[in-house]
Amino acid sequence: MRIVQAKEITEAVAKLCWEACYYLPEDVLAGFKEAERTEASPIGKSILQQLLVNAEEAKVNHMPYCHDTGMAVVFIEIGQDVHVTGGNFLDCVQEGVRVGYRDGFLRKSVVGDPLLRVNTNDNTPAVVHTDIVPGDQVKITVLPKGGGSENMSAMKFLLPGEGAKGVKDFVLQTIKNAGGKACPPVVVGVGIGGSFDKVTNLAKHAVLREIGVHHPDPHIAELEAELLEEINNTGIGPQGLGGTSTALWVPIETYACHITALPVAVNIQCHAARKKTAIV
Amino acid sequence: MAEYRLKTPLTDEDIEMLRIGDSVLLTGTIYMARDAAHKRMVELLEANKPLPVNLKGEIIFYAGPCPPKPGQIIGPVAPTTAYRMDPYAPAMYEYGVKGTIGKGPRREMVKEACKEFKAISFAAIGGLSTILSRRITDVELVAYEDLGPEAIRRLEVEDFPLLVAYDSYGDDLYEQEIPKYENYQNNKGVVS
């Protein structure tokens, strides 16, 4: 058994919040560069060039790449041989978000009650997903999720017989409906299978996968490639102002499901495709 | 697709001149307001009450900034998704707002309002927050402080980069551009 101090969790989460917002991941920057190289629309090409400059300025000046520093979604894998001491584990995670958004000068974009809508002024609470895994480490990933693209995400139960074609139609329909509202070029996280709750979780996890990495199952990898091509043939383009770079990547995650069901979820991630992981 | 450098307030001649796809570098005063502020303002307009700040002839920037770091006047900021303000936009244009700045496509009601009330809906690049914040030279919080990042702020901007997305003739840049690139790969790279 390994002892982990609660304050180590707080410190790690805080640092991940601002680092994620300041420094776009290398795979996303590589995606921008490739999109800029191939983009057919002059407006689209100019937008991609400006996004690359924006990313560089954010990095050099340690400033948020995008002002919508999101609602923090925190994924934690806790090794079963870890014992956390010195505080309530989940409170430490929320405290990390509070400190990270305060000290990182990130925008506070969370309202406490969805109907009364009063800003909590510290960006808490975060959405926290925990998994218990083998080992004696704690792996923490912070995904600061912007509102514009999250708003365009969707979930549907298809009939089992609709199969891969039904999945493709639903994903494409969701992307067309989102258009420029989701701040393309986007990463399209897709979940297939599981239950009502599981499928959206799959789609969210898919967004975390590195751009350029396909699903290990060949038929899912093929579906990813086909969807990427078809999404980039919609014409939506950067910011929805026309072009050939609508999506940077289409990662799909799958799970077993009931004989009656074929659930599909699409979680759209805007071009501020931020994610940052640390191990405690 | 012309390029202009314009100063606020926009004149009727400026608005008549602007067509979709035109680039504008805007200098002068604009007002930042988004969802929560619009809800309050449109409730005031419906009750025939004055707005907390006079926006007749002005331009509204749909946005909410990050807090400034020490030494900055404002943190990063870029437009939020414009369609969420669509239900409020016709009332604001009718009241006398001459331009709005957002990102993404808008609904028919906004196109019609721009035509009817001779106004513009501009697009700026969503997420271009570090770059855009450097074009802001002064900031003053003028209303609804309790809304935090959603409060109304008066900004002075210099060469703020915009595209005309919807003009006063009822034209739509998104509708014009997207079909050109539809099935681009299948058409062997020919812009239709």
Q: Give the model's pLDDT for residue B69.
A: 95
Task: Summarize pLDDT for B63-94 with one digit per residue, the tens.
Answer: 999 999 999 999 999 999 999 999 999 999 99
Does the beta carbon of B32 lie under 8 angstroms from any beta carbon of chain A?
A: no
Query: Are A161 and A73 in a shared domain?
Result: no
Asked if A51's CB is within 8 angstroms of B75's CB, the reply is no
Instruction: Name which of B129, B177, B191 is nearest A67 (Cβ-Cβ).
Output: B129
Does the beta carbon of B145 lie under 8 angstroms from any beta carbon of chain A?
A: no
> Rounded to a whole number, what is the distance in Å from the CA of B174 to chain A's nearest CA?
5
Rounded to 10 degrees, the C-alpha dihedral B174/B178/B180/B186 comes to 180
Query: Are A138 and A153 in a shared domain?
Result: no
> Does residue A279 fall inside a structural domain?
no
**Residues 75-104 in A contacting B (C-alpha not used; CB under 8 Å):** none
Instruction: Name which of A106, A151, A180 is nearest B103 (Cβ-Cβ).
Output: A180
**Residues 1-20 in B contacting A (C-alpha not used; CB under 8 Å):** none
Query: Are A138 and A178 in a shared domain?
Result: no
Does pLDDT of B185 surpass 90? no
Instruction: Name which of B77, B81, B148 is nearest A181 (Cβ-Cβ).
Output: B81
**Residues 75-114 in B contacting A (C-alpha not used; CB under 8 Å):** 75-78, 80-81, 83, 103-105
- A176 contact residues in B (CB cutoff 8 A): none
> b/e per residue, B8-47, with b = 16+ CB within 10 A?
bebeeebbebbebbbebebbbbbbbbbbbbbebbbeebee
Q: Give the model's pLDDT for residue A85.
A: 96
> Does residue A52 fall inside a structural domain?
no
> Does residue A46 fall inside a structural domain?
no
Q: Give the model's pLDDT for residue B188.
A: 63
Does the beta carbon of B128 lie under 8 angstroms from any beta carbon of chain A?
A: yes
Query: Are A138 and A190 in a shared domain?
Result: no
Range of the domain at A132: 2-20+65-145
Kindly tell me the sign of the dihedral angle through the C-alpha atoms of B51, B54, B55, B60: negative
> Does residue A195 fall inside a structural domain?
yes
Q: Give the model's pLDDT for residue B186.
A: 77
Instruction: Choose from B34, B39, B121, B130 for mutation: most chain A CBs within 10 A.
Output: B130
Does pLDDT of B1 surpass 90? no
How many angstroms separate the CA atoms of A2 and A137, rounded? 8
Query: Are A132 and A153 in a shared domain?
Result: no
> Does residue A246 fall inside a structural domain?
yes
> Does residue A51 fall inside a structural domain?
no
Residue B188 designated active-site: no
Distance between first and last Cα of chain A: 14
- A234 contact residues in B (CB cutoff 8 A): 178, 182
Does the beta carbon of B131 lie under 8 angstroms from any beta carbon of chain A?
A: yes
Total of domains in chain A = 2
Asked if A239's CB is within 8 angstroms of B125's CB, the reply is yes
Note the CATH number of domain B3-181: 3.20.130.10
- A68 contact residues in B (CB cutoff 8 A): 80, 127
Query: Are A138 and A175 in a shared domain?
Result: no
Does pLDDT of B61 surpass 70? yes
How many angstroms separate the CA atoms of B40 and B55, rounded? 14
Does the beta carbon of B63 lie under 8 angstroms from any beta carbon of chain A?
A: yes
Chain A residue with the nearest C-alpha to that of B183:
A233
Does pLDDT of B184 surpass 90? no
Q: Give the model's pLDDT for residue B191.
A: 67
Q: Give the model's pLDDT for residue A75.
A: 98
Does the beta carbon of B189 lie under 8 angstroms from any beta carbon of chain A?
A: yes
> Does residue A175 fall inside a structural domain?
yes
Q: Give the model's pLDDT for residue A146.
A: 94
Q: What is the pLDDT along chain A (280 residues), one digit of tens a residue?
A: 999 999 999 999 999 999 999 999 999 999 999 999 999 999 999 999 999 999 999 999 999 999 999 999 999 999 999 999 999 999 999 999 999 999 999 999 999 999 999 999 999 999 999 999 999 999 999 999 999 999 999 999 999 999 999 999 999 999 999 999 999 999 999 999 999 999 999 999 999 999 999 999 999 999 999 999 999 999 999 999 999 999 999 999 999 999 999 999 999 999 999 999 999 9
How many angstroms separate the CA atoms of A71 and A189, rounded? 17
Chain B residue with the nearest C-alpha to that of A58:
B130
Amino acid (one-letter) located at B155: L
Instruction: Name which of B63, B131, B177 is nearest A54 (Cβ-Cβ).
Output: B131
> b/e per residue, A171-203, with b = 16+ CB within 10 A?
bbebbeebbbbbbbbbbbbbbbbbeeebbbbbb
pLDDT-derived band at B190 (thresholds 50, 70, 90) equals low
pTM summary value: 0.94
Chain A residue with the nearest C-alpha to that of B79:
A67
Q: Residue B168 burial (CB < 10 Å; 0-12/13-18/19+)?
A: buried
Q: What is the mean pLDDT of chain B?
A: 96
How many angstroms separate the CA atoms of B19 and A100, rounded? 44
> Does residue A43 fall inside a structural domain?
no
